Amino acid sequence: MNRNEADKAVSPSAPSLLSMEIGSDGWCLQAQRHPSSNCDPRAADVVVDLLVIHNISLPPGQFGGHYIEDLFANRLDFKADPYFQQLQSLRVSAHFLIRRDGMLLQFVPTVARAWHAGVSCFAGRERCNDFSIGIELEGTDFIPFDPAQYRTLALLTGALRTRHPLTTVVGHEHVAPGRKTDPGPFFDWDDYRKLCIANAKASTGAGCAGMALRFHGDASTTPKTDA
C-alpha cells in the first residue's frame, strides 16, 4: 500500500467510507491514532452516555499543521507562537479531532477518560469527563464548519452509539456555561441531527440505535431528539 492509499484508508473524507466502527478497546478503526498520555481510566461502573462537541484551532483561527496533536501529546513548542505561552501548564486531550477536510484523528480510547471538559456539569452531574466522550472540531466560534466535518461527525456519532449507550449530545458551552463558548453559534445543530438520522436509517432502516438521541441546540434549552 502506498502513502496515498494509506491516507485514504484512515481518512473519512474518502468517498468510499460509509460507516465507522469502534473496537472493544475503544479505538475507531477508521481513525488515525495519536495516543495521548493525558487520560486516565474510567470508573468500572460508569455509564458513558454523553457526547460533548468542542472546537479548537492553534494558533487561534489558523488551521492545519501539527499544533493540536502536539498540545495533546505535551510536546507543543511554546516558542512557536506568542499565544502558546499561556498553554504551558495545560494538560488536556480529547478522544477525537475532526480536521477541516473531515480527517479523523483519535487520541484517547473511548473506554478511558480524556481530559476535555474541565470543570463541568450536566443534568446535575459534575465532572463530565467521567461519563462523556469529547470530540474536537477544527474551527472557531466565528466561521462555519466544513460540510466534510459534519459528515465525519455524524458517522462517528453512529459508531459511538453502537459501542456506548449515548443519550445526549451537547456543546462544551452547555456543560461549562460562562467559561466556554464552543462549538459556538456557527455549529449547525439541525444539520448534524439530520445527518445522524439519515445515516441511521440508511444502515438500519430505523431510528438511531433504537432510541432517541437528544441534541442540545445552541438556541434552545430544550434538546431536540432524533425521533
Cell numbers representing residue 63 in the block: 488551521
Give long-range contacts, CB 8 A cutoff, 24+ apart: 122-131: 122/50, 122/168, 122/170, 122/174, 122/175, 128/50, 128/52, 128/175, 130/42, 130/43, 130/46, 131/42, 131/46, 131/47, 131/48, 131/49, 131/50
Is 136 an annotated catalytic residue? yes
Nearest to 50 by CA among 128, 136, 149: 128
Cβ-contact 130, 43 below 8 angstroms: yes
Angle at which helix 189-204 crosses helix 147-163, to 10 degrees, equals 50
Active-site hit among 5, 21, 136, 138: 136
96-to-7, 55, 57, 86, 222 alpha-carbon distances in Å? 17, 11, 14, 23, 26
Q: Where are the beta strands (DSSP E) in 1-44?
A: 32-33, 39-41
Cβ-contact 76, 112 below 8 angstroms: no
Catalytic residue positions, numbered: 136
